[in-house]
Structure 1
Amino acid sequence: MPLPLKILILCLALLSASAFAQEDRLAAAREAIASEDSRVAITALDSLRATGKQSPDLYQALGNAWFEQNKPGMAILNYERGLRLMPGHKGLKNNLKFVRAEAGINALELQEFFLVRWWRSAGAVLGASTCQWLALLFWALAVIGGVTWYLRRRDMDEKKRFALLPSAVAFLLIAGLFFAMGNSRLSWLSNDGEAVLTASSAELRVAPGADATLEETLPEGLKFRILDEFDDFIKISLEDGRQGWIPAAAMERI
């Protein structure tokens, strides 16, 4: 057997073993949650996440385990992380809505334009790397088609000549579409400007500092956008547009 083929088979075997190991850990965590041993589930899932393995199901199981521990903030944080990987995941959406209601958080549900929702879902299904490879493939087809048309335009019959150039242009447009989708997906995954309040509560103040004027006390599980940082405080913008400063230790980035 040729050496490259042996290497390919070995890589596939390792990937399969890794996938089975991940499924086994997820199954063990679900059993721990079912047996009301959520601490064991959290430990198992965190160790799996520490290896770099991420999936919507992992974050859903982790969120469920934290909810069993009466930590709605950590539950919401993990549901949000899972939805970042798969925006259309119904289980994560339903769990997030339920936990928010249980925590008394009235989140503003802004309906996305259906094309934006489709764009994000398609990017999540394909993945950033697949989009980039498809962009490269269609770009190569466009270049080949354009060069072929230029070099052989006088030798081709009229139908082929007029069909080849539009095809090359279409391939170029498709390449641009996949390139934009891949970049959009990478930008979405790397966005660390959103966070969730994981402390039991936090005091929202008009300026950074424990002596600044107190505006209100925020509940656990609230989602917000990070605007600025100063010392041990961060400036945030809530979903309803209000702004203020809270301790940085009270939150975790999504």
Structure 2
Amino acid sequence: MKIMVYILCFALSFSALAQNDNIFNQANDAYADTNYKEAKRLYQNILKDGQASSELYFNLGNTYYKLEDLANSIYYYEKALKLNPEDKSIQNNLAFAERMRLDQFERLPDSEVNKTFEDFIQTFSIDTWSIIGIVFLFVAALSFGVFLLFKRTFVKRLAFGICLGFMLLSAGAFAMAQTQLQQVKSSVYAIIFQEEKNLYEEPNTKSNALFQLHEGTKVKILDQFRSFYKIELPDGTLGWMTTDNIKKI
């Protein structure tokens, strides 16, 4: 009986995927025909069905850009980039859309040491770092097996040294994966969907308003107190803003 249920679930899932592929193609055709409102409706229907991919988000970003909805355009480009950070098309379109928004900030320069370390961590994804750690650990286990099986002193010393070295490399790879994971968890970003939104000194609308931010601006969320987010801007400016009309990426 359970087997029949699994088969039925698989069949329904396969049917849903095929249907969404058909809708995706229809949306692409609508976009190609400059029917952007219809393309948006079809793409959003796929999202409502629980299906998401970098391609879908990217196409939605393009569609909203054509509809002159800058906030949604940047939002979906960012979501596409989150799933596929190496895609040059996504990077280029996002950069172009960001140049259209009102708020422009100079990023705080990183120290050379921090930049080098960050670049090294980002060399591989979390999954890739984990796989590298597992491979190194496997090599260490094989070397330890050689150490136990062979009697010659030279071989035992060599095997033990290799085992120790690959254990350290494995620990390093897992540490890179963990560091990158912590960065992802601590880096919560959001896009402003309001034409003008005040940034306050304190989590209180009666406190001093530092300045206004505009739709499409990307902010980093550091904390939340009641109906306020504590946010950080790319130039290091800190402040508080209400949680309405701001959507986490």
Q: Match for residue 94 of structure 2?
A: 96
Local SS of the residue matching 1:244: strand
Instruction: Label 1:199 to 1:20 Cα distance change in 2 as closer, same or farther (>3 A).
Output: same
1:166 aligns with 2:168: no
Q: Does the 8 Å contact 1:139/1:175 carry over to 2?
A: yes
**DSSP 3-state at the match of 2:211:** strand
Q: Which residue of the partner structure matches residue 124 of structure 2?
A: 122
Structure 1 stretch 79-88 or stretch 63-72: which is displaced more? 79-88
- Residue of structure 1 equivalent to 2:144: 146
Change beyond 3 A, Cα 1:55–1:40: same
1:58-207 matches, cutoff 5 A = 58-108=56-106, 113=115, 116-117=118-119, 119-123=121-125, 128=127, 130-149=128-147, 151-153=148-150, 155-156=151-152, 158=154, 160-191=155-186, 193-207=188-202
Hey, what's the Cα distance between the residues in 1 that align with 2:107 and 2:17? 35
CA shift digits 1:31-73 (9 cap, x unpaired)? 2222233333334333434555443322211211222222211
CA contact (8 A) 2:107 2:235 kept: no
How far apart are 1:216 and its partner, in Å? 1.8
Distance 1:73 1:186 in 2: 27
Relative to structure 1, is the Cα distance of residues 22 and 139 closer, same or farther in structure 2, using a 3 angstrom cutoff? farther
Spell out structure 1 runs of 4+ moving beyond 6 A. 13-22
Pairwise CA distance, 1:242 = 2.0
Q: Distance in 1 between matches of 2:76 and 2:39?
A: 14
One-letter amino acid of the structure 2 residue matched with residue 117 of structure 1: D
| Deviates most, 199-208 or 28-37 | 28-37
Identity of aligned residues (%): 23
> In 2, are the aligned partners of 1:87 and 1:120 still within 8 Å (CA)?
no
Match for residue 233 of structure 2? 238
Looking at structure 1, the residues matched to 92 and 43 of structure 2 have their Cα atoms a distance apart, in angstroms, of 21
1:203-218 map, 5 Å:
203-218=198-213
1:242 and 1:165, CA in 2 relative to 1: closer, same or farther beyond 3 A?
Answer: same
Aligned residues: 237
Residue 56 of structure 1 corresponds to which residue in structure 2?
54
Partner SS, residue 86 of structure 2: coil
2:149 partner amino acid: R
The two structures have a TM-score, normalised by structure 1, of 0.75
Q: State the superposition RMSD in angstroms.
A: 3.4
Q: TM-score, normalised by structure 2?
A: 0.76
- Post-superposition shift, 1:228? 2.5
**Equivalent runs, 1:42-53 vs 2, <5 Å:** 42-50=40-48, 53=51
CA change 1:237–1:14 in 2 (3 A) is: same
Report if aligned partners of 2:107, 2:234 keep a CA contact under 8 Å in 1.
no
Label 1:33 to 1:173 Cα distance change in 2 as closer, same or farther (>3 A).
farther
Runs of 5+ unmatched residues, structure 2 = 1-5
The verdict on how the C-alpha distance between 1:187 and 1:17 changes in structure 2, with shifts beyond 3 A counting, is farther
Instruction: Structure 1: state its 5+ residue gaps.
Output: 1-6
Distance (whole Å) between structure 2 residues aligned to residue 100 and residue 163 of structure 1: 55
Distance between the aligned counterparts of 1:167 and 1:216, measured in 2? Answer: 59
